[in-house]
Amino acid sequence: MKNRAYSAGLLALLLFVGIAPAYATQTPAGTTISNTATASYTDSNGNALTATSNTVSTVVQNAPTLTATNGGNQNVAPNTNATDTFTLTNTGNNAGDFQISSPTLSGGSSSLTSYTVTLPTGSTYNGSNSTTNGATAPTTPQTFTSLAALNTFLGSVNVPSQSAATVAVNYAVGNTAAATTITDTLPATITYAAAGTAPAATSATTTSTETDTVQNDARLDIRKTSSQNPTTGNITYTVAINNGGAFTAHYVQALEQNSFGFGLATTTGTPGGILIVDKVPTFGSPTAVPLALTATPTVTFTRGTNGFPNDASETAAVYCTTAATPASGWSTSCPTTGAVTYVGVLISGGSLANSATGGDGLLPNASGSQATGGTSPSGPIVTAPAVTLSFTIVQPTGTGAGTAGSVTNVADSIFTNNNATPQVVGPAGSTTDGNTAAAATALLPDIENTTANGSGGAPGASGQTSNAALASYAVLVGPSGFPAATGDALSSGTADNNHDFTDWSFTDPSATPTTTSTTPGATVTGNSTSQAESMCVPETLQNAGNLQDSAISLSVTAPTSPAGWTAQLESNSGCTSALNGASAGSTSSTATAITLASGSSMTFYVKYTAPAGTPAFTAEQAVITATGSPNGATANTNTTYNELYNGFIALVKQQTVISSGCPTGVTVTTICPGGVLGYSITVENLAKGATGTGVNEPASALLTNSTAGIVVVDDGTSGTNWFAPIGTTGTYVTSGVNAVPTLTIGGTANTASVCTYSYGNPAAGPTTTFTAPVYTSPYSNGPSKLSCVLGGAAGSAYQLPAGSNTAATWMVFSFNVTVRAN
Amino acid sequence: MKISRLLAPIICSVLIALAGANAFAKPTVALKLAGVILEKDASGKVTPVPVDSTPAKPGESIRYTITASNTSGEIAKKFVPTGRIPSGTQYEPGSSTIAAPGHIEFSLDNGKTWSEKPMARVKQPDGSMAMKPADPATYTNIRWISGKDLAAHASASYTYVVLVK
């Protein structure tokens, strides 16, 4: 274009100063050039005399010449229709008819479609090809689809000397790769008919060649970057948009449809717009939800810069939608409630019309981006964006939030290219823009440009940004299955997850726990183990941080009393495999380099060995500490406790005289025949209970009796018990249990106990039927032995909770026997 | 008859003398014009071809030669030959010369006025008109002012070249 303008200017200048260009005027063919010389002189007298020469003549011949020029090399887009316009100028001295000989069009997938001829004013038909000689030829464009038809027409018209006709070569560029050259060659001649004595003549062939270069069609290069606030963790995305192609990116007409919500159909007369869509990152499980915007997104652009048209009525505006897809619901409202699913920039408006050669949209700004960028993140690099979108979201929280790449984001877009059949171009490819909702299908979100546009990457798509929440390490250790349990192991009055605990009981089979206390209470004494006893206590370790931690360590410290306790971290329920190289059983054990993914847990075990002499009904306390990666200078530890018991159900049996049976006035110290003795067995659970404010110590971590229930067996025939024989009398001390035994739980009567009874000595039975004693001689007695499942049948009996060591919680099983009166 | 025989030569001599006196008073100059087309071949070699042997083509040059011959015994005083620049041609500047102190003049109006450097009114870029040296292509005539006479029985040649437009 510059060359053309220069040429036109030069021509104008030449004409202006009166210097005719070389082809300005020629002597017409057939013209006779005659010349005669004269002379003047005088004689000696001063008389004027003249002389005249002979005449010399010559006839000017036909001198057909022409020039062929073109509009200059141009850039063409793939799949478009292009036109190379050649100008044939009759620079000779006669009117003549042009002919085109063997034109060629080559390069890429180009193919000729037609020729269009425009004759200059003054052109006439020359009588050939059934035309009327001298008739005025048309100056309107004439299009021909074949070279033969073109030449037939050209051969029928004479173009005046010094006049020019144009021949436009129309061709389809086809799907030709960028940087391909298409060479268009047009050889032409001009022929003059005989003029008087001047014979007909044909010029030499003059050829003009135009070389077009295929360049990328409109191409939105989108560069997405992110930054993170090191304090809040908020993530700010910046989307830089540039038309890195060589041609204008046009509007998508379908966006004016009301279903999108932009209101274009009613607010502007400009069809559609260009839409850049950015799906708001989501996070969470099982349903990922959008992360909340911290503020309304912003868009920046400068008219007349970097391809944004210098058109006051074209604009770029931020829109948001809360819809599930970006095909509807767009509004300028962008709430920060976490409801926004897509953020978009709509480029619309303008007064330059949505033409294929310019106008509204985004103008090419090839130097503003590097389609072959593709460094990390992948996709093009935009250095001079026409439009920039920026928005900030809160960082994700929860399991895995800190894992690299937990939040990813891609920006996509749709626009219309310059294809012969305009195409809506989006990250999923191209579709025909029929101004229908089909454009919505091109709005497939989150299609990443992984290879950069120069390598066939998704058009109009950015590379993917990858972010995560600020790292937050947190390790928890606690009762099996409940690493986050809270408790109050040290009885401070306040529970937290550093003082949760697990009650655990063991027994020396050779020295079962036996109560030595005579009164119930919070502390019950008993015997001690006679030998070392081992146990395998399960625990759960959890990574409650937001990213994987590969540097977790565990340590356990065995109880210190009595001396001789050992502990070792184990990996299996049999406590036969050391955990992560944990040291062998000693007073402490440590395992290191444990790796846990965010949110995941593992069960480990601690093998304790209690020394001989460990007292019954006493908590022996071990502490387990988990240490994870620190959060900066802040340590990341958590502890749990093991309360280890040599038995935790204690039975304290007491006897009372319900009635002495002694006659009035008789002073007795014990009881008389007929008196009634009462026995009460207080059943306590001495394991540490879930006490303290905020405790949520799980039931599984607390010791209770099993669902089989606490079975109290009281055999009056054993030894010198209450149904022992009296000498050789054949009678017994008592008449046995005189009534159905009773049970209270926390002082409240419970009748659900299931008892069986035996009679006689030795006891016979048992039977589920209680038979009250009949005082007949000599053996009609009540039960001599009873066995009761306290608080219900086996399998559903009352389970005595840990910490049941007060009258408000413990169970009291009672029965009475009557001292024999005969 | 004798008288006649005697007077005849005398009368003839007188007549001849009288006639000779009249011829010497009016010099006679014969002009001959010749034209050749200067054909150039591809190598640039120029071959002159008489105009009557070949037609002219636009862009070709024609060299005209005026040969003046004083066929009388009288001096042709103030001899000034004039050539035309035929229609359809234009003068090729510098194609004609004359020995000093003579000079060559050109006319823009078919010989009405003459000048060594004809001037023409030319429109300036600002719209005003100014006198500028005329384009040689607009010359219509050429003449040679030698300031000398053409001696009796002498000859002189004058050449110039025009370009077929």
More confident residue, B71 or A2: B71
Residue A674: C-alpha distances to residues A530, A665, A761, A817, A819 (Å)? 43, 16, 20, 10, 5
Rounded to 5 degrees, what are φ and ψ at A192? -105, 135
For residue A774, what are the contacts with CB-CB under 8 A and spacing of at least 6?
A780, A781
More confident residue, A817 or A20: A817
Q: Which of A4-8, A236-240, A351-355 has the lowest mean pLDDT?
A: A4-8
pLDDT at A196 over 50: yes
Check B51 against A38: CB less than 8 A apart. Answer: no
Q: Is A13 on the interface with B (CB under 8 A)?
A: no
The predicted complex's ipTM stands at 0.87
Q: Is A56 on the interface with B (CB under 8 A)?
A: yes
Q: Quick one: chain B helix, strand, coil %, rounded to 5?
A: 15, 45, 40
Check A53 against B33: CB less than 8 A apart. Answer: yes
Residue A687: C-alpha distances to residues A481, A501, A721 (Å)? 19, 11, 30
| Residue in A31, A52, A92 nearest the CB of B31 | A52
For residue A411, what are the contacts with CB-CB under 8 A and spacing of at least 6?
A222, A224, A239, A276, A277, A278, A389, A461, A462
Angstroms from A34 CA to nearest CA on chain B? 6
| Residue in B56, B83, B137 nearest the CB of A58 | B56
Angstroms from A59 CA to nearest CA on chain B? 5
Instruction: Please list, residue by residue across A155-194, b when 16 or more beta carbons sit within 10 angstroms of its beta carbon and e when fewer do.
Output: bbbbbbbbbbbbbbbbbbbbebebebebebbbbbbbbbbe
Check B26 against A43: CB less than 8 A apart. Answer: yes
Confidence class of residue A668 from pLDDT cuts 50, 70 and 90?
Answer: low
Confidence class of residue A377 from pLDDT cuts 50, 70 and 90?
Answer: low
Write the DSSP symbol of residue A394: P
The count of residues in chain A is 822
pLDDT at residue A549, rounded to an integer: 98
Asked if residue A806 lies in contact with residue A785, where contact means CB atoms within 8 angstroms, the answer is no
Average the pLDDT over A118-131 and give the result. Answer: 92
Write the DSSP symbol of residue A734: E
- CB-based burial of residue B9 (10 Å sphere; 0-12 exposed, 13-18 middle, 19+ buried)? exposed
Chain A residue with minimal CA distance to B140? A35
All residues of chain B having their beta carbon less than 8 Å from the beta carbon of residue A42 are 76-78
pLDDT at A799 over 50: yes
Check B79 against A40: CB less than 8 A apart. Answer: yes
Tell me the Cα Rg of chain A: 54
Check A41 against B27: CB less than 8 A apart. Answer: yes
Angstroms from B48 CA to nearest CA on chain A? 14
| Residue in B56, B78, B87 nearest the CB of A42 | B78
pLDDT at A780 over 50: yes
Taking the C-alpha atoms of residue B156 and residue B68, their distance in angstroms, rounded to an integer, is 5
Taking the C-alpha atoms of residue A343 and residue A321, their distance in angstroms, rounded to an integer, is 7
Chain B residue with minimal CA distance to A38? B82
Taking the C-alpha atoms of residue A273 and residue A433, their distance in angstroms, rounded to an integer, is 12
Mutation choice for B interface testing from A15, A17, A33, A203 by most B CBs within 10 A: A33
Write the DSSP symbol of residue A546: S
Confidence class of residue A706 from pLDDT cuts 50, 70 and 90?
Answer: confident
pLDDT at residue A729, rounded to an integer: 66
Angstroms from B9 CA to nearest CA on chain A? 30
Taking the C-alpha atoms of residue A800 and residue A811, their distance in angstroms, rounded to an integer, is 8
Asked if residue A377 lies in contact with residue A463, where contact means CB atoms within 8 angstroms, the answer is yes
pLDDT at A1 over 60: no
Closest CA to B109 of B130, B138, B83: B138
Check B80 against A63: CB less than 8 A apart. Answer: no
Angstroms from B50 CA to nearest CA on chain A? 9
Q: Where are the beta strands (DSSP E) in A544-600?
A: 549-557, 566-570, 588-596
Average the pLDDT over A30-48 and give the result. Answer: 94
Taking the C-alpha atoms of residue B28 and residue A308, their distance in angstroms, rounded to an integer, is 87
B142, amino acid identity: I
pLDDT at A374 over 60: no
All residues of chain A having their beta carbon less than 8 Å from the beta carbon of residue B150 are 41
Chain B residue with minimal CA distance to A31? B88
pLDDT at B6 over 50: no
Confidence class of residue B12 from pLDDT cuts 50, 70 and 90?
Answer: very low
Percent of chain A with pLDDT over 70: 91
Average the pLDDT over A186-192 and give the result. Answer: 97
Q: Is A43 on the interface with B (CB under 8 A)?
A: yes
More confident residue, A674 or A18: A674
Confidence class of residue A783 from pLDDT cuts 50, 70 and 90?
Answer: very high
- Is A175 strand, coil or helix? coil
Q: What is the pTM of this model?
A: 0.71
Per-residue DSSP letters for B63-131?
Answer: EEEEEEEE-SSS-BEEEEEEEE--TTEEE-TT-----TT-EEEEESSTTSS-BSS-EEEEE-TTS-EEE
Check A43 against B32: CB less than 8 A apart. Answer: no
Mutation choice for B interface testing from A43, A93, A162 by most B CBs within 10 A: A43
pLDDT at A710 over 70: yes
For residue A468, what are the contacts with CB-CB under 8 A and spacing of at least 6?
A395, A396, A401, A402, A403, A404, A405, A406, A407, A546, A547
Check B35 against A63: CB less than 8 A apart. Answer: no
All residues of chain B having their beta carbon less than 8 Å from the beta carbon of residue A25 are 165
Q: Is A38 on the interface with B (CB under 8 A)?
A: yes
- The residue written with tokens 């091109």 in the block is A442
All residues of chain B having their beta carbon less than 8 Å from the beta carbon of residue A40 are 78-80, 82
pLDDT at A703 over 80: yes
All residues of chain B having their beta carbon less than 8 Å from the beta carbon of residue A43 are 25-27, 74, 76-77
Q: Is A12 on the interface with B (CB under 8 A)?
A: no
Check A53 against B66: CB less than 8 A apart. Answer: yes
Tell me the Cα Rg of chain B: 23
Q: Is A25 on the interface with B (CB under 8 A)?
A: yes
Asked if residue B110 lies in contact with residue B141, where contact means CB atoms within 8 angstroms, the answer is yes
Check B51 against A39: CB less than 8 A apart. Answer: no
All residues of chain A having their beta carbon less than 8 Å from the beta carbon of residue B68 are 39, 51
Check B78 against A92: CB less than 8 A apart. Answer: no
- The residue written with tokens 């060659």 in the block is A185
Angstroms from B108 CA to nearest CA on chain A? 16
The count of residues in chain B is 165
pLDDT at residue B109, rounded to an integer: 96
- pLDDT tens figures, A276-297: 999 999 999 889 999 999 999 9
pLDDT at B19 over 80: no
pLDDT at A453 over 60: yes
Instruction: Please list, residue by residue across A621-656, b when 16 or more beta carbons sit within 10 angstroms of its beta carbon and e when fewer do.
Output: bbbbbbbbbeeeeeebebbbbbbbbbbbbbbbeeee
All residues of chain B having their beta carbon less than 8 Å from the beta carbon of residue A37 are 31, 33, 64, 66, 81-84
- pLDDT tens figures, A398-411: 999 999 999 999 99
CA-CA-CA-CA torsion sign (A104, A109, A115, A120): negative
Which of A774-778, B7-11, B115-119 has maximum average pLDDT? B115-119
pLDDT at A299 over 80: yes
For residue A273, what are the contacts with CB-CB under 8 A and spacing of at least 6?
A251, A252, A255, A256, A262, A264, A346, A347, A348, A349
User: Around Cβ A584, how many Cβ atoms within 10 Å?
Assistant: 8
Write the DSSP symbol of residue A799: P
Taking the C-alpha atoms of residue A654 and residue B70, their distance in angstroms, rounded to an integer, is 181
- pLDDT tens figures, A512-532: 999 999 999 999 999 999 999
- Is A148 strand, coil or helix? helix
pLDDT at A822 over 80: no
Taking the C-alpha atoms of residue A676 and residue A256, their distance in angstroms, rounded to an integer, is 100
Q: What SS3 string covers A329-356? A: CCECCCCCCCCCCEEEEEEEECCCCCCC
pLDDT at residue A400, rounded to an integer: 95
Check A47 against B26: CB less than 8 A apart. Answer: yes
Check B26 against A55: CB less than 8 A apart. Answer: no
Average the pLDDT over A707-718 and give the result. Answer: 93
End-to-end Cα, chain A, rounded Å = 139
Check A19 against B135: CB less than 8 A apart. Answer: yes
| Residue in B25, B32, B150 nearest the CB of A53 | B32
Q: Is A94 on the interface with B (CB under 8 A)?
A: no
Angstroms from A62 CA to nearest CA on chain B? 7
pLDDT at residue A777, rounded to an integer: 55
Angstroms from A35 CA to nearest CA on chain B? 6
Q: Is A234 on the interface with B (CB under 8 A)?
A: no
C-alpha triplet A322, A325, A326: angle, nearest 5° = 80
Check B25 against A54: CB less than 8 A apart. Answer: no
Check A25 against B66: CB less than 8 A apart. Answer: no
Instruction: Please list, residue by residue across A553-579, b when 16 or more beta carbons sit within 10 angstroms of its beta carbon and e when fewer do.
Output: bbbbbbbeebebbbbbbbbeeebeebb
pLDDT at B32 over 50: yes
Angstroms from B155 CA to nearest CA on chain A? 13
Rounded to 5 degrees, what are φ and ψ at B17? -60, -45
pLDDT at A432 over 80: no
- The residue written with tokens 């020629």 in the block is A26
- pLDDT tens figures, A732-762: 788 899 999 999 999 999 999 999 999 988 8
Taking the C-alpha atoms of residue B120 and residue B140, their distance in angstroms, rounded to an integer, is 13
All residues of chain A having their beta carbon less than 8 Å from the beta carbon of residue B84 are 35-37
Check B74 against A43: CB less than 8 A apart. Answer: yes
A676, amino acid identity: V
Phi-psi region of A481 (alpha: psi -120 to 50; beta: other; left: phi over 0): left
